[in-house]
Amino acid sequence: MEITLLAFAQAKDDFGFSSQTVACSAEETLRELVRRIAPNANLEHLRIAVDCEFAEWDTPIGNAREVALIPPVSGG
């Protein structure tokens, strides 16, 4: 299976992409997925969203279609 991995704002700069398609399995967790793409990235202040909802890093990908790296928000 494949998912779309999105990165925004500071995460886009840190990870070096804004969107990529990633092959993965439903059992892999979000943390494992991101670690595989960016082994050295600092995930400390990063939240993760699955199909437009915040998710836990240790959740399996399951049937997700879009996973997004969400740095601290600063709208307004």
Rg from Cα positions in the chain: 11
Among 22, 37, 43, 70, binds other proteins (CB under 8 A): 70
Burial bucket for residue 29 (CB in 10 Å: 0-12, 13-18, 19+): middle
CA distance 29 to 72: 21
Among residues 3, 6, 28, 60, which is the contact residue for other proteins, using CB under 8 A?
Answer: 6
User: Nearest distance from residue 18's CB to other proteins, in Å?
Assistant: 9
Q: Which residues are near other proteins by CB under 8 A?
A: 6, 8-10, 49, 52-54, 68, 70-71, 73-76
